[in-house]
Structure 1
Amino acid sequence: MVKRSVLNSIERKFILLVGDVLIILSSINLFVNHAIDDQYISFDLKIFTFSFGVIIYLGLSYILDFFNLEKVARRRYILSQSFYITAIFVFLVFVFTVFIYDVSFWRIPLLSFLILTPIEIWLWRLFFGNVFRIIPTVKKVFYVYDANSEESLRQNVDYINGESTNTFYKVKLTYAMDGESPSMDKKTFTDAIEKVDTWILNVKDYHRIPKKLEKLLLESILKGKEVLSYTSFYENIYEAMPIRSHYHSFYELLQLKNKKIRYLQVLFSFIVNFVLSVFVGVIFFLICPMVWFFNLFLNRGPLFYTQLRVGQYGKEFKIYKFRSMVVDAEKTGAKMASKNDTRITPFGRVLRTFRIDELPQILSVMQGNMTFIGPRPERKVFVEQLDGMMPFYSIRHLYKPGITGWAQVKYKYGEDLQDSIRKLEYDLYYIKNKSITLDLRIIFKTITTVLFSRGV
C-alpha cells in the first residue's frame, strides 16, 4: 500500500513562506538591477535594499497574520490581503531607496516592480490554496486515553479536531486503556497501522500501556507515523498548556526541574523595559492633559482609577489606569468587565478601544511592580476563586505581571472566570517557553492589537 504523505501546518506554512520569499527576492532583483539607473547601483545599495525589503515583507506578513492557513484558504482574503500587504511593501522599498540613496529610475521596470509584485504574490497564494484543496491536508488520528477519563473524551477530541482553530488533525479511532491491560482485536491493529497517520497518547501512566499496544506504536513509528503525547500536540497547535483536559504532570507542563538562567533573556527584558518605559512614559505625559480635558465634559469624576492587584510571589500592589467606568461601578461588589459592559462610559469606551486607559500602568513599571511583558495581574478576590478552581493558577505569579502578554494577544478579552482559566493555559505556555523570540512576537501582536483596535 502506498503511504500517504500529509503535511502538517508548520510544513505548509514553510512552503508558503519559501514561495513568498522567492517572489519577493526576484521582485527586488528587478527593482535593483533594472529599475534603478545604472549610475546609482552600488554593492551597499543592493545589500541594504534586499535586506530592507525582505525584513519589511516578513514583518508586515507577521503583524497582519498573512500566514494564517485558515485565511489563506479563503479566496476573497487572498485577493485583498495580497494586494494590500504587497502594495505597502513595494511602496516602502521605493520610498526607502529614494530618501536614502536619492536615485532615479527607469519607468517601465519600476512600474513592473510596483504592479507585478502584488499580482505574483496573489497568483502564488491562489495556486497554493488550490493545491491543498486537492492533496490530503488532514492527518487521521488514533487517540489513546485512560478509561477513567471518559467524561473528558468529547472535549479532548474536539480540541484535536479543532475547536476554533483548524488543527489539520481528525480523530478516526479511539482506544480506552484500563488497569487490566485490555486486548486489541485484529481489526483494530489493521486499522491503526493502515488508516491513521498520527497517534496521540493521553495517559497518566505510560508504564501501563499494554505490550500489544507498545508493539503497535513501534511498528507505526518505523512506518513513519507520527506519535505524540497530548501535551505536545496541544502545546504545538494552540501554543498553550492543556491544564483542563489532560492527566497533566506538574513537571511535564512546566519543566521546572530544568530551569536555566538565560542571561541574554534577562538583558533583553531589561532593555525592552527601559526603552518602552521612556517611549510610553513620554506618550503618557503628553496625552494626560488631553484626557483630563475631555474627562471634564465627557467622563465627570476622578481622572485615574487605582486598584490593588496580585503581583510577583502573590504580593499585592497598586495599579493605575485612566478611569473608563462610572464612578460607582462596583457598588454591588467586584465584577469582571465584559465587552458590552454598561458601566463603561462613552468616553471610556474610546479610551479602551485604543488602549489609552492602560497608559498609566507605566507608573507601576517605573515602581518595579510590573514589566511590559508578562501575565496580566488579577484582583485578589478573583485569584482566590481561581486558585480553588485550578491548582496551577498561582504558578503565573512566578514572574512580574505585565502590561501585555501571551494570553492578551492570543485570546479574547476575559469576561468571566472560565475565560481566566483559558488564559491561564497561555500564561503557563509563556512561563515554560519564555524567550526573546516569544517576547518579540508578543510586542508585534500587541502593535497589531492597538493599531486595529482589537478587543474591548
Structure 2
Amino acid sequence: MSRPSILNSIERKFILLVGDMLIVLTSLNLLINHAIDKEFISIGLKVFVFGFGLFTYFGLSYILDFYNLEKVARRRYALSQSLYISSLYVFIVFIVTVFTYDVSFWRIPLLSFLLLTPIEIALWRLFFSNIFKIIPTTKNVLYLYDQKAEENLKEHLEYINGDEVNTYYKVKLTYSVENGQPPFQKKTFLEAIEKIDAWILNLRNYDSLPESVENILLDSILKGKEVISYTSFYENTYEAMPIKSHHHSFYELLRLRNKKIRYLHVIFSFIVNFLLSCLVGVVFFLVCPFVWSLNLFFNKGPLFYTQLRVGQFGNEFKIYKFRSMVVDAEKEGAKMATKNDARITSFGRILRVFRIDELPQIISVIQGNMAFIGPRPERKVFVDQLNKKMPFYGIRHLFKPGITGWAQVKYKYGEDLEDSIRKLEYDLYYIKNRSITLDLRIIFKTVTTVLFSRGI
C-alpha cells in the first residue's frame, strides 16, 4: 500500500494563501456592507475597496516574506508576524477608504474589522502550522543518476535534502544507472520502493535505464508518486537553474526551440523603465547635494566612481556610482567587494546599506546601456575568468544588465567567483522565465532589500 499523499511546498503555500484570501474577503465584506453607512455604498466603492484591500494585503505579504514556510512553522514568529502585517493591512485600508470616499462608519462593525481580522489571520496561521506537525511533511526520495551527475553527487544530495532551505524532500535511496541491474534482491528492492514518495532523475539519456528499473518507475507513476527531473526540482525549489547538473538544455535556455515575441512584456518593460527613470532620477538629483556635502567631511575624494562593465552582447560601457571606497581601492589589482571589506569607508558603508551608492546608475539607464531589471553587469576581468569556468556564463549578456534583478534579490552580494557562479543560476532562471509576473516579483523584493538593508 502506498503512503498517503504528501504536499510539497508549493501546495502548502497555496493552501495558506487560500485561507488568507477567504479571511481577507470576509473582512472586506464586513467593512463594506456592515461598517460603512448605506448612503455611501456604491459599486465604485465596492470595487475599489475589494481591489485595493486584496492588493494591499498580498503586496505587504510578499514584501514582508509572509509566505516563508520555515517562518510560518515557528509559532511565536508566525503569531507576531500575523498580527503585525494584518494590523498594518486593516489600518491602511481604513485610512485610504476614509480619505478617498469621505465615508461614515458604524462603530461596532468597524471595530470588528480592525480587531477581529488580525486575530482571525493569526489563529488560521497557528492552525496551519500545527496541522502540518501531525501529518507527514517530508517526501522520501529515490535519486536516480548517471556517471556524469556522479561528479557532483554530494552537492546534489545536499540541495535535495535542503541544507539551506526546507525542501520537504529527503533522499532515502540512490542508484546509478551505470551499475546495470539494481544491486538489490528483487523483493528487498520492491519493499524499499514502496516507502519512496518521489523519484528525482538526473540523467542525460533516459534510454540507459535498466528495464527492471524502468518498469518499477512506470509502476510508481501509475500509483500517483511524484517523478521529476533534477532540473525541474531545482527550478521549482530554488527558482534558479542548476548549472552544475550538466543536464539542462542550452537551446531551452536560449528559447530557440519555442521563441515567442512577447509584446506585452516589451511594453511593460518600457513603461517600467520610463516610470522608474523619472522616479529614481528625481531621487538622485535630490540626494546628490547631500551626498556631496557629507562626502567632503567623511569620504574625501571624488563624488562619483566610474568603471567599465560588460553589457548587452558583451559590449563594454561606463557605469556610475557614488564612491563608497577609499580613492586607491584597487592599487593592488581588481578585487571583488566582500562583506567586511576594509576598503569601504564608514560613510560608504552607509551608502551601501541603503543602496544609495547605486542611484547614479540611472545615468546608464538613460543612456540606454542598462535597464532597471536584468543581470548585474560585471567587469571584463571577472567575466573572462567566469567564461573559462562556466561556458554558459555568456548567456546572461543576451539582455541589458539591470540595476536590480532576480540574482540580486535572491542571493547575497557576490564576494568571489563561486558566488558569481551561484548568481548565474538565478540569472539563467530569469532569462528562461522572463515575464511580467517575475518582473513584478523582482520589484517587490527590491523594495524589501532596500527596506531591510540586506546585503553589503
- Any conservation in 2 of the 1:412–1:455 contact (CA below 8 Å)? yes
1:237 Cα deviation after fit: 0.6
Structure 2 equivalent of residue 190 of structure 1: 190
Name whichever of 178-187 and 355-364 sits farther off. Answer: 178-187
Indicate the residue corresponding to 2:119 in structure 1: 119
> What is the 5 A alignment of 1:66-105?
66-105=66-105
- What corresponds to 1:140 in structure 2? 140
- Distance (whole Å) between structure 2 residues aligned to residue 55 and residue 251 of structure 1: 37
- One-letter identity of the residue aligned with 2:71: K
Give the deviation of 1:255 after TM superposition. 4.0
Please give the alpha-carbon distance, in whole angstroms, between the structure 2 residues aligned to 1:77 and 1:252: 41
Note the C-alpha offset of 1:99: 0.6
Change (3 A) 1:393 1:443: same
Q: TM-score w.r.t. structure 2 length? A: 0.97
Letter in 2 for 1:395: I
Residues 202, 246 of structure 1: 8 Å contact kept: no
1:119-178 residue CA offsets vs partner (Å, 9 max, x unmatched): 110000000000000001111111001145434211111100102111111111111111
CA distance in 1, matches of 2:406, 2:244: 18
What is the alpha-carbon distance in structure 1 between the residues aligned to residue 387 and residue 166 of structure 2? Answer: 31
Q: Which sits farther off after the overlay, 392-401 or 209-218? A: 209-218
Q: TM-score by structure 1 length?
A: 0.97
Render the CA deviation track for 1:225-244: whole Å, top value 9, x for unaligned.
Answer: 11101111101110000011
- Name the residue aligned to 1:22: 22
Amino acid at match of 1:322: F
Q: Any idea what the Cα deviations from partners look like across 1:263-319, whole Å, max 9, x if unmatched?
A: 111111111111111111111111111111111111110000000001111111100
State the match for 2:276 in structure 1: 276
Residue correspondence of structure 1 range 325-340 to structure 2 within 5 A: 325-340=325-340
Match of 1:172 in 2: 172
Q: Point out the more displaced range, 149-158 or 5-14.
A: 149-158
Q: Find out whether 1:106 has 2:124 as its counterpart.
A: no
Would the aligned equivalents of 2:182 and 2:213 in 1 still touch at CA under 8 Å? no
The superposition leaves residues 82-127 of structure 1 with CA deviations (integer Å, 9 ceiling, x where unpaired) of 1111111100111122111111112122111111111110000000
Name the SS of the counterpart of 1:200 in structure 2: strand
Amino acid at match of 1:109: P
Shift of 1:248: 3.6
Which amino acid counterpart does residue 418 of structure 2 have in structure 1?
Q
Aligned to 1:313, what secondary structure does the other structure show?
helix
**Count of aligned residue pairs for this structure pair:** 456
> What aligned pairs does 1:56-455 form with structure 2 within 5 A after superposition?
56-147=56-147, 149-178=149-178, 180=180, 185-187=185-187, 189-191=189-191, 193-455=193-455
Give 3-state SS (helix, strand or coil) of 1:339's partner: coil
The amino acid of 1:185's aligned partner reads Q
Q: Which amino acid letter does the alignment assign opposite residue 74 of structure 1?
A: R
SS of the residue corresponding to residue 65 of structure 2 reads: coil
Q: Tell me, yes or no, if the aligned pair for 2:72 and 2:129 is still in contact at 8 Å.
A: yes
Q: Which deviates more, 309-318 or 246-255?
A: 246-255
Question: How far 1:251 sits from its partner (Å)?
Answer: 2.9
Give me the whole-angstrom Cα distance separating, in 2, the residues matched to 1:130 and 1:183.
Answer: 41
CA distance in 2 between counterparts of 1:157 and 1:53 reads: 42
5+ long unaligned stretches in structure 2? none
Q: Report deviation, 1:324.
A: 0.4
Which secondary structure state, in structure 1, belongs to the residue aligned with residue 30 of structure 2? helix
Q: CA deviation at 1:51?
A: 1.6
SS class of match (2:400):
coil
Q: Give the distance between the partners of 1:296 and 1:281, measured in 2 at CA.
A: 23
Q: Which moved more, 1:172-181 or 1:162-171?
A: 172-181
**Does structure 2 conserve the Cα–Cα contact (< 8 Å) formed by 1:322 and 1:360?**
yes
Q: 1:397 to 1:148 in 2, by over 3 A?
A: closer
- The equivalent of 1:49 in structure 2 is 49
Q: State the shift of 1:252 in Å.
A: 4.7
Q: CA deviation at 1:455?
A: 1.1
Q: Would you say the 8 A contact 2:83–2:122 is kept in 1?
A: yes
Does the CA contact (< 8 Å) of 2:2 and 2:195 recur in 1? no
Identity %: 74
C-alpha separation in 1, matches of 2:116 and 2:353: 37
> Contact between 1:231 and 1:246, CA under 8 Å: does it hold in 2?
no
Instruction: Supply the distance in 2 between the matched residues of 1:181 and 1:187 (Cα, whole angstroms).
Output: 14
Cα distance, 1:246 vs. partner?
4.0
Q: Distance in 2 between matches of 1:88 and 1:254?
A: 43
- Contact 1:230-1:246 at 8 Å conserved across structures: no
Residue 412 of structure 1 aligns to a residue whose secondary structure is coil
What is the deviation of 1:253? 4.7
Q: What do you get for the CA RMSD once the two structures are aligned?
A: 1.5
User: Aligned partner of 2:145: which letter?
Assistant: Y
Partner SS for 1:178: helix
The alpha carbon displacement at 1:254 in A equals: 4.6
